[in-house]
Structure 1
């Protein structure tokens, strides 16, 4: 079965909308970050820490941690409500797209999963990200981030105390320096991590809610097809999974890593009627919908290939004598974990020799 152009177009347009929504949701953390900054400065300027005993220090750290917990909890409570609202919208969007994709003359109304089913899918299905956050449920994923940020801040205070730093020096370590526009402070790291967590959580929620709609319509949706973004920022995992199909009730689902942008399109039983002439968007314009990431990359200049996948991998791609299909296979193991260049060389040593990579 081929990709339905109407579904593909709707999916790609929606992916753009979702990236904008992520940016807006990330901005909601700004006032909470300012409150953290202001509260820490107020608390850490009340008395000279250099005269503290260890017991008094631990009391201060408990106070700071309680303060941070309250602020982070208010933010994550708001975020969770926004995510549940988004899940409902995403499930309805997928059902509407599926209904509109039915051929002329075919009477079809896509089923919409219940609110309970959507919420359960979002909260009970683990994130598919690889690495330390892999397999976590949504709420623990968010909670672990807030815990890590609280520990980072209280740890900086504790370390500063034992190193004999002044209150001002500790505050500067947390806030950063004005000369670098505070980009070197712990709170700048907190801000970046907040962006990653929010973006990844939104991608998970959107994916799970849309999958719940696909499952509710499994009589006409036997498979889903992964759709990666065709640009130089796409990760190794997403490049290799682009255009891969999986049964509607099994297989990996995005997000595959923090800040993942990969989405999926439903493959329906009436998709063949729309196969001819289908296209998809890329960084350089519209391309054939049948074109996967590495076939698309093959058509790009060497300089772009080097920037997208790295100069060594790109040289192997161009000069190793491997088919695009074989090169794609070499990017991931059976568990969809990226292979290193050393592992790839062990599987295809002659290709490395042909490419002049010793």
Structure 2
């Protein structure tokens, strides 16, 4: 995903540099200069670049991406400023589509691997195996696209991209008004991209946490298990919510993401474990303040904190 952001930023930076090269006076472009209409040559050049971006959009075969690209091309009035923004918006649009594909691939692979590894781990640990039929990919797609948080992850991706384009528009507008150099504006746009990248990382971590939990729970159901144990991370970074739930036992039929099953919040690191009434967990893994892991006797977060958290 980082490569996708770097590629998109390189393209945006190239667009901005070309804009400054074309219209700058004393290394700056004033807001008044940016509001001037495109002449015939510049309009033709802009149209050619947008046609290239439209072809990339058409190649996705995604109706939303194609429609949005067409809207960007048709809605821009022919002044320099709007042409620049439309071209940048188009590149952010393609970034969003690329990110959606990457997330779908990661989440699908995570779901399948988790489901199989759950069965394998249980078979090794209990000596009881279960025959899993080949995973139905439509079922995987249904699981990863379920709007567990109230919105599908693809919608959250596009919300992130809308936020990014608004921030970039504000950066460019303010930069032109203040007479910022292309170098200064590039640094500010880089900050916008970095913020969006961090939002994307948080989203994929949270969605991955959901997929891991859902696949694990489905594995437990196939193994006809009745209950699960909520496991928070034994370290100083764990949220109060996850601390309070750590070690508690819930029925699988009562599982509710965000209520008694992770993820409880963005960047949630909690997990679930199978519950066997006749088997007690002997040890758990914890982390010290440096992030190094170590083994402790089985205990809940409250007990661990009173003993190890100074």
Q: Secondary structure at the match of 2:130?
A: coil
Shift of 1:61: 0.9
Counterparts in 2 of 1:102 and 1:122: CA distance versus 1, 3 Å: same
Check if 1:188 corresponds to 2:209.
Answer: no
Q: Which residue of 2 aligns with 1:100?
A: 124
Distance (whole Å) between structure 2 residues aligned to residue 142 and residue 63 of structure 1: 20
1:314-329 matches, cutoff 5 A: none
Q: Is the 1:227–1:243 contact (alpha carbons within 8 Å) kept by the matching residues of 2?
A: yes
Q: Which residue of 2 aligns with 1:351?
A: none
Q: Per chain length, whose mean CA-contact separation is higher, i.e. which structure has more relative contact order (CA < 8 Å, sep 6+)?
A: 1
* 1:213 pairs with one of 219, 222, 226: 219
Shift of 1:203: 1.3
Q: Secondary structure at the match of 1:257?
A: coil
Q: Secondary structure at the match of 1:265?
A: strand
Shift of 1:126: 0.7
1:257-296 matches, cutoff 5 A: 257-267=265-275, 271-275=276-280, 278-283=282-287, 285-289=294-298, 291-296=299-304
* 1:109 pairs with one of 130, 154, 157: 130
1:114-133 matches, cutoff 5 A: 114-127=136-149
Q: Encode CA deviations 1:106-148: one digit per residue, 9 max, x unaligned.
A: x542656644333312211513xxxxxxx32232233322332
* 1:61 pairs with one of 71, 77, 85: 85
Shift of 1:293: 0.6
Shift of 1:163: 4.2
Distance (whole Å) between structure 1 residues aligned to residue 157 and residue 222 of structure 2: 28
Q: Which residue of 1 aligns with 2:251?
A: 247
Shift of 1:167: 3.5
Give TM-score scaled by structure 1 length.
Answer: 0.63
Shift of 1:211: 1.8
Q: Which residue of 2 aligns with 1:225?
A: 229
Q: Is the 2:232–2:270 contact (alpha carbons within 8 Å) kept by the matching residues of 1?
A: yes
Distance (whole Å) between structure 1 residues aligned to residue 209 and residue 246 of structure 2: 16
Q: Which residue of 1 aligns with 2:14?
A: 42
Check if 1:256 corresponds to 2:280.
Answer: no
1:25-36 matches, cutoff 5 A: 29-36=1-8
* 1:89 pairs with one of 90, 113, 121: 113
Shift of 1:248: 0.6
Distance (whole Å) between structure 2 residues aligned to residue 137 and residue 213 of structure 1: 23
Q: Secondary structure at the match of 2:229?
A: strand
Matched length: 248
Q: Encode CA deviations 1:300-354: one digit per residue, 9 max, x unaligned.
A: 35xx3xxxxxxxxxxxxxxxxxxxxxxxxxxxxxxxxxxxxxxxxxxxxxxxxxx
Q: Is the 2:96–2:158 contact (alpha carbons within 8 Å) kept by the matching residues of 1?
A: no
Q: Is the 2:100–2:154 contact (alpha carbons within 8 Å) kept by the matching residues of 1?
A: no
Q: Which residue of 2 aligns with 1:142?
A: 157
Q: Secondary structure at the match of 2:126?
A: coil
Distance (whole Å) between structure 1 residues aligned to residue 130 and residue 244 of structure 2: 34
Q: Is the 1:231–1:283 contact (alpha carbons within 8 Å) kept by the matching residues of 2?
A: yes
- RMSD of aligned residue pairs (Cα, Å): 2.4
Counterparts in 2 of 1:96 and 1:125: CA distance versus 1, 3 Å: farther
Give TM-score scaled by structure 2 length.
Answer: 0.71
Shift of 1:57: 1.5
Q: Encode CA deviations 1:6-54: one digit per residue, 9 max, x unaligned.
A: xxxxxxxxxxxxxxxxxxxxxxx22222212221221112233421117
* 1:197 pairs with one of 192, 203, 216: 203
